Amino acid sequence: MKSPPPQGHSPVLYRTRIPSAPPPPRRGLALAALLAAVCMAAGPMPAAAAEAPAPFSTSMPAPNAASAGAAKMASGVIRWDDLAPKQTKTGFRRDVFDLPTPTLDRFHCHITTLDPGQTTGAPHRHPQEEFIVLKEGTLEVNIDGRKQTATAGSMIFFAANEMENMRNIGAAPATYYVIQFFTTLTPKG
């Protein structure tokens, strides 16, 4: 039996959960999808928004600085204009955050702009899961030797320890959000 959707909710998207059904499993990928949707909407902010102070520091601690005693990441808005681009040999990088949360040992995000023809380096592995949202451009994605093309709006998930890299195969720079999840199960060091 369906109940009417709450005010302001689409009847197409609203579903009543059957009481006997178990709750859906909680996965880091669901969090990543939500963050990806928020990141995709990010862009230059209107001038009026520039007056509000940032709710928390987005400065990056040293790699692996997150520890049990470190301050946890707080809720807040991260403004595009506050993310200073740093020149790299392959394009630009904007550091967003790298902090523990109440449920993650470390939650990391940076934004990369990869120039045409450039790669993320030789195929390599990461001990943590990595979720990427392609804001603009075209990438060739290599996952364990399987190559696929990702266009603007595509999302890419690299499971832990998969051999991976990406190459900008477009004529324009490719900009993408990199979101990494570190848990107690992620190997340290």
Inter-residue contact 173 to 115 (CB < 8 Å): yes
Q: Options 3.30.70.20, 2.60.120.10, 1.10.150.120, 2.60.200.20; which CATH number does 79-189 get?
A: 2.60.120.10
Q: Which secondary structure element, helix H or strand E, spans residue 34, and what is its range? A: helix 28-41
In this predicted structure, the answer to whether residue 78 has a pLDDT above a threshold of 50 is yes
Contacts of 177 (CB under 8 A, 6+ apart): 36, 39, 96, 109, 110, 111, 132, 133, 135
Q: Which is higher by pLDDT, 70 or 91?
A: 91
Mean pLDDT of all residues belonging to the chain:
77
pLDDT interval class at 71 (50, 70, 90): confident
Q: Rounded CA gap, 165 and 162, in Å?
A: 10
Inter-residue contact 144 to 163 (CB < 8 Å): yes
pLDDT attached to residue 188: 85
Reduced 3-state DSSP string for 39-70: HHHCCCCCHHHHHCCCCCCCCCCCCCCCCCCC
Q: Which secondary structure element, helix H or strand E, spans residue 31, and what is its range? A: helix 28-41
Task: Return the closest-CA partner of residue 151 out of 123, 174, 171.
Answer: 174
